[in-house]
Structure 1
């Protein structure tokens, strides 16, 4: 009788252990999938907002002011970037990664600041910040890859 009880307890412990391991793996996979989705969302929103900033710069070079449509498009892209950053904050607590995201966000904002008025574009700043923004994008792709796949 004692042997049967020990065998039953061992079997239950084995099942419990397997369940705990499976649950832990499933949670880790859900977190990884959530981070992957947030990373894709951020990178896409970053590219779209950067594109809107370059459209603003192109218009300023041509001496054009914003229209309601261009303002709306740029603010929509900015809102999407802000939402994507929020998703990243809920998907990871990796402060190094979030700091890199903040740096990229500040760069893309500064890009638009280099062309404040029609006919007024600081070309050196556009070139410098544009290069930094592209490098930040590449660095973030690599950081997300490292965070997701080690």
Structure 2
């Protein structure tokens, strides 16, 4: 009788352990998938916002003023980037990655600030553009490092 009780208890304990391990793995995979989606969203939104800033610069160089549509596109790109950053903050606490994202935002805004209604500071655009290209690599590498943990 004692052997049967031990066998049943062992079976139940094994089943319970299997359940918890499966549940833990499923939650870990879901967190990883959410993190990958958040990082991908940030990178895509960063590229789109940067592109809108370059379009603003080209418009200023050719003497074109903003239209409601161009402003709307730029503001939507900035909002999408902000929303993607917010999603990333809920998916990770990796301080290096979050700092890299904030620097990407700062540089992209600075790029747009180099083009005002008064014209374009070409040297500032060149310097910030170089920093943005370098920083895109930093951001991508930070995301890959965070993902590999």
TM-score (norm 1): 0.94
Q: Distance in 2 between matches of 1:63 and 1:94?
A: 43
Partner of 1:44: 44
Q: How far is 1:149 from its partner?
A: 2.9
Instruction: Please give the secondary structure, in 2, of the residue aligned with 1:93.
Output: coil
Q: Is the counterpart of residue 96 in structure 1 residue 96 in structure 2? A: yes
CA deviation map 1:52-85 (0-9, x unaligned): 0000000111122111111111011111111111
Q: Distance in 2 between matches of 1:149 and 1:96?
A: 14
Q: Is the counterpart of residue 121 in structure 1 residue 97 in structure 2? A: no
Partner of 1:34: 34
Contact 2:60 2:117 in 1 (8 A): yes
Q: Distance in 1 between matches of 2:146 and 2:22?
A: 21
Partner of 1:134: 133
Please report the RMSD computed on the Cα atoms of aligned residues, expressed in angstroms.
Answer: 1.1
Contact 2:97 2:142 in 1 (8 A): yes
Number of residues of Structure 1 aligned to a counterpart in Structure 2: 149
Q: How far is 1:87 from its partner?
A: 0.7
Instruction: Please give the secondary structure, in 2, of the residue aligned with 1:64.
Output: coil
Contact 2:42 2:85 in 1 (8 A): yes
Can you give the 5+ residue segments of structure 2 that lack an aligned partner in the other structure?
none
Q: How far is 1:96 from its partner?
A: 1.7
Instruction: Please give the secondary structure, in 1, of the residue aligned with 2:120.
Output: coil
Can you give the 5+ residue segments of structure 1 that lack an aligned partner in the other structure?
none
TM-score (norm 2): 0.95
Q: Distance in 1 between matches of 2:87 and 2:30?
A: 14
Q: How far is 1:143 from its partner?
A: 1.6
Contact 2:96 2:142 in 1 (8 A): no
Partner of 1:71: 71
